[in-house]
Amino acid sequence: SEDIQDQLVSPFQKFLREDLKDLKEVRKNNDKISEKYESAVAKYASVNKSKDPTSAQEEAFALFEIRRAYFRSSFDYVHQILVFKDKLDTRFSEKVMGAMYAHVDYFQYSAEVFMGLKPAMDTLKG
């Protein structure tokens, strides 16, 4: 039980605390930039381009800049998701497989011990 706790549960909890925190921070940043982008799109759409071309050009430039930041943030978020998934797949599967092999070895050794006791048990039985 302690072995499972030390080998699986604790590292998994640490992984979730640290790496999930990083993922949440990137998502939060992406959400903020997404809101700014949506606001810039709405602002640009509301500008009367024929009456105020200078204002329209300024809004177009602002939209271009925030769109670039939004794309960059979105790529960072997707990258962080992929990194998180990769770490989860590799770390967790390695830990689970390690624990399973440890249990196989333990039970295999136990079976060998009991098979060694079989002749003595047969003698006592018979």
Tell me the three state secondary structure of residue 126: coil
How many alpha carbons fall within 13 Å on the CB side of residue 126?
A: 6
The residue length of the chain stands at 126
Task: Give the pLDDT confidence of 34-81 residue by residue, as tens digits.
Answer: 999 999 999 989 988 888 888 889 999 999 999 999 999 999 999 999
Confidence of residue 3 (pLDDT cuts 50, 70, 90): confident
Task: Give the pLDDT confidence of 80-106 residue by residue, as tens digits.
Answer: 999 999 988 887 778 778 778 887 888
50: which 2 tokens?
Answer: 């024929």
What is the 8-class DSSP label of residue 48?
-
What is the 8-class DSSP label of residue 1?
-
